Structure 1
Amino acid sequence: MLTSVFCMRLNTYGVVIGWLGVIFSFLATILLSVALGFVDKIAQQIVDTEKNDMTVSDVRNVLIILFSIYLALKVINLLASAMLVVGTVKERHLLLLPWLINNGVILALSIVTHIGLWAQVIGSAMPFMSALPILLISVSVLLLSWYLYYGIYSLFKQIQASSDLQRPLIPPVSQQTNSYPSYTKI
């Protein structure tokens, strides 16, 4: 398990990542809401620039579906990031789970996407030296994403371990008694 990420303690790192997630998700939510408001103009602009057989109605429907899905994902990410901040500050490990699950799914999809990119780059007729920067950047982004995720996972395990020490589920044998609880006695 990690004890620090980018020279920050895990608690500080959790709060920083949480706030960055909240801010960027909030900005993306506003941007997507505005884009949904101007979807007709965006669809018209796409049809005018592409010069394909697509109609404005088809493009508009696709844009509405894509923007709506992405908006829902950004709202989920906003809530998960806010719960990450609260869970880190209050040291409640279960509040970190939504962020871990959300970003775990994103990381898994990212791995699949990167493997597809690698297959496409390697399978193309592109010379190796011109494909090398693409592969190196892709591997670097994937490793950085994994490292950031592992930092929050380490924070989760650290908070979980400290809360288990503070509140054990089963009291020690010396504190257990064979009598009924006091509220059942008459």
Structure 2
Amino acid sequence: MCMLERFFCFELQTAGVILGWFATTKSLLSLITATFGYSYIPGLVNQTIIVINNVTNQTDPDAGGYIETSTNVVEGLAVALIALMAIDFIASILLLYGTIQGNRLMLLPWLIENGFGLMYTILVTVILTLAVASNPDQNSPGASVFMGIILCIPLGFSIYCWSAVYSLYHWFAEVDTQRARLLGPMGGKAMHPAYQTYERV
């Protein structure tokens, strides 16, 4: 895999801090929103079923049990989603802290978690692209190209961000290896310098 030397105009360690702050803020806001929205699930499920029954002009005598079952399923999915958001939040904090402290191992949770996310996004993008391309009668060539661009731009940016953190991880590993060689038989722990260091003149 080709290693990046910079992230746009930023050095890799600066990029790691920027991505860490962005990911931490985004995941925290998503986690707070999902947690508050969890309490509204029963009412939303109830109203949705009522609207569906009104549109179809049907009345289900066992609507109460159906609503309860649907609510339990949606609540279970919501709990799983909140758990994934919590994992993403923790991984983002570790990314930020690991970049500042120069600890490459703290970058691994974010790389693994976002790596699975990228694979899922790539799979969905390929499926949607094939679905659009397989219906030329319903979609004009211009619309298909536009849809492909819309899907590929955020995917490409996500891959670029992941590659920057992956390159930063390898850069930390190389620096730690070089420092360990310099220490030699004297021993000691190879430490990468923190993100911001100041020397007294």
The verdict on a shared fold, with TM-score over 0.5 as the criterion, is yes
Q: Which residue of structure 2 aligns with residue 137 of structure 1? A: 150
User: How far, CA to CA, are the matches of 1:169 and 1:70 in structure 2?
Assistant: 47
Match of 1:83 among 91, 94, 99: 94
- CA offsets, 1:111-168, max 9 Å, x none? 1111111111111231211222111111222211111110111111111111111124
Q: Percent identity?
A: 28
Q: Which residue of structure 2 aligns with residue 49 of structure 1? A: 51
| Alpha-carbon shift at residue 103 of structure 1 (Å) | 0.5
Question: Aligned ranges for residues 12-23 of structure 1 at < 5 Å?
Answer: 12-23=14-25
What amino acid does structure 2 have at the position aligned with 1:140? Answer: I
Are positions 1:115 and 2:126 aligned together?
yes
Q: Which residue of structure 2 aligns with residue 11 of structure 1? A: 13
What amino acid does structure 2 have at the position aligned with 1:9? Answer: E
Q: Which residue of structure 1 aligns with residue 110 of structure 2? A: 99
Please report the TM-score for the alignment, with normalisation by the length of structure 1: 0.85
User: How far, CA to CA, are the matches of 1:105 and 1:21 in structure 2?
Assistant: 16
**1:167 match: secondary structure:** helix
User: How far, CA to CA, are the matches of 1:90 and 1:10 in structure 2?
Assistant: 14
Figure out how many residues of one structure are paired with residues of the other and give that number.
174
Are positions 1:58 and 2:69 aligned together?
yes
User: How far, CA to CA, are the matches of 1:132 and 1:34 in structure 2?
Assistant: 39
Q: Which residue of structure 2 aligns with residue 25 of structure 1? A: 27
Contact preservation (8 Å) 1:47, 1:59 = no
User: How far, CA to CA, are the matches of 1:42 and 1:167 in structure 2?
Assistant: 58
- CA offsets, 1:15-37, max 9 Å, x none? 11111111111111111111211
User: How far, CA to CA, are the matches of 1:110 and 1:169 in structure 2?
Assistant: 43
Q: Which residue of structure 2 aligns with residue 149 of structure 1? A: 162
Gap runs ≥5 in structure 2? 188-201
More contact order relative to length (CA 8 Å, sep ≥ 6): 2
What amino acid does structure 1 have at the position aligned with 2:98? Answer: G
Q: Which moved more, 1:161-170 or 1:85-94?
A: 161-170
| Alpha-carbon shift at residue 80 of structure 1 (Å) | 0.5
What amino acid does structure 2 have at the position aligned with 1:106? Answer: G
